[in-house]
Amino acid sequence: MSKVMTMKDAIARFVRDGDLVVLEGFTHLIPFAAGHEIIRQRKRDLTIARLTPDLVYDQLIAAGCARKLIFSWAGNPGVGPLHGFRRAVEQGKPRPLEIEEYTHFGMVLRFMAGASNLPFLPTRNYPGTDLLRYNPDIRKVKSPYSDEELYCVPALNPDVTIVHAQRADADGNTQVWGLYGVQKEASFASRKVIVTVEEIVESSVIRSDPNRTLLPAPVVSAVVHAPFGAHPSFVQGAYDRDNDFYVKWDTVSRDEAGVQAYLDEWVHGVPDRAAYTKKMEARRRELEADRQMCAPVNYGF
């Protein structure tokens, strides 16, 4: 059964004010187009979780969509701080932002526990860090096989997780290559999953290489066709990371006016990602990926 719908409909239907929302993708495949639609629809009081808030959450925070952030590294990768995040945490602008902080390993385990329908997962991490003094949810569990005590983290089960991928079929069978991040764990942990893709393909394409499937149809609620939907992040085999934009954001986001101007032009000023892409067609061409095809393999018997 086809789950294809527009970004507008998918966000309107599956993201409600107050939800726990996850937009995942570790530097790769960050669903910016979905983030912009959330801002455009002026969703409010969201709890947003992500290992690296990155620019996509810096924008959500600066736009006033979020009341709480669950994260493990809040910076502009390779550039510097996230000014929107810092303004919210240090000055409460545009609104105070509650934070719940883990480490990358902790966040990955929280998603995996949620995806496995377990209350927690253990780790050998955490002895000695001051994070323990400020996060009471990193607790101890005793091994039933020795006197060992380990730390553990609680499951995280989002209301909705949004991921971007190279391709999916209309039913939602989704394939990804290049960096995997934690999209599989976050999606299985989630009550609803929106997949935005560069390309909607026939199921026969998916079936030609089943080992590449990251998400099966049963966990996917909506499939959105959103080419260039990860810009300014990247899509392996489609377009490069727009490092200049990440550098530019450091200036743009230094004050609220700068962010507002950006949102007015690139989010509220365009109806959707197609218009956004048209508006930067020249840049899009510059970022187009070279071809470096993999050696095909045989699935016959």
Partner 1 sequence: MADYTTQELMVSRAAKELKNGDVVFVGIGVPSLAVNLAHRMHAPGLCMIYESGAVGCVPKRLPISIGDPCLVTGSLAVVPMLDVFNLYLQRGLIDVGFLGGAQVDRFGNINSTVIGDYRKPKVRLPGSGGACEIAALAKRVVITIGNSKRTMPERVDFITSPGYLGGGREREALGLKGGPELVITDMGVYRFDPRTRELVLVSIHPGITVEKIQENIGWKVKVASDLTETPPPGPEEIRIIRQELDPQGIFLKSKAV
Report the site for a copy of itself in 128-167 (rule: CB under 8 A): 137, 139-146, 148, 150, 152, 154, 166
Query: How many Å apart are CA 177 and CA 191, to the nearest integer?
Result: 24
CA 12: distance to chain centroid? 18
Q: In 10 A of CB 139, how many CB atoms?
A: 14
Listed residue (28, 21, 67, 24) closest to 44, CA to CA: 67
Using CB under 8 A as the binding rule, whether residue 118 contacts partner 1 is answered as yes
Residue with tokens 């066709």: 225
- Closest approach of Cβ 228 to partner 1, in Å? 15
- Closest approach of Cβ 271 to partner 1, in Å? 29
Site size toward partner 1, by CB under 8 A: 75
Stretch of 34-42, 90-98, 122-130, 183-191 contacting a copy of itself, by CB under 8 A = 122-130
Which position among 3, 241, 249, 262 is part of the footprint of partner 1 (CB under 8 A)? Answer: 241
CA 259: distance to chain centroid? 20
- Closest approach of Cβ 52 to partner 1, in Å? 7
Which position among 10, 39, 60, 182 is part of the footprint of partner 1 (CB under 8 A)? Answer: 182
| Residue list 67-106, contact with partner 1 (CB under 8 A) | 71-75, 77-78, 81-82, 85-86, 89-90, 101-105
Query: How many Å apart are CA 8 and CA 146, to the nearest integer?
Result: 54
Query: How many Å apart are CA 216 and CA 274, to the nearest integer?
Result: 27
Query: How many Å apart are CA 1 and CA 265, to the nearest integer?
Result: 37
Using CB under 8 A as the binding rule, whether residue 46 contacts partner 1 is answered as no
String of contacts with a copy of itself for each residue 170-209, x by CB under 8 A: -------xx-x------------------------x--xx
Please check whether residue 184 is in contact with residue 25, taking contact to mean a CB–CB distance below 8 angstroms: no
Beta bridge partners of 101: 71
| Residue list 216-275, contact with a copy of itself (CB under 8 A) | 234, 236-238, 240
Query: How many Å apart are CA 84 and CA 181, to the nearest integer?
Result: 24
| Residue 45, binding choice from a copy of itself, partner 1, none, Cβ under 5 to 8 Å by partner class | none
Site size toward a copy of itself, by CB under 8 A: 48
Residue 254 CB contacts under 8 Å (≥ 6 apart), including other chains: 83
Using CB under 8 A as the binding rule, whether residue 301 contacts partner 1 is answered as yes
| Residue 270, binding choice from a copy of itself, partner 1, none, Cβ under 5 to 8 Å by partner class | none
| Residue list 281-300, contact with a copy of itself (CB under 8 A) | 289-300
Measured in degrees and rounded to the nearest 5, phi and psi for residue 115 equal -70, -25
Q: In 10 A of CB 49, how many CB atoms?
A: 26
Which position among 59, 125, 166, 196 is part of the footprint of partner 1 (CB under 8 A)? Answer: 125
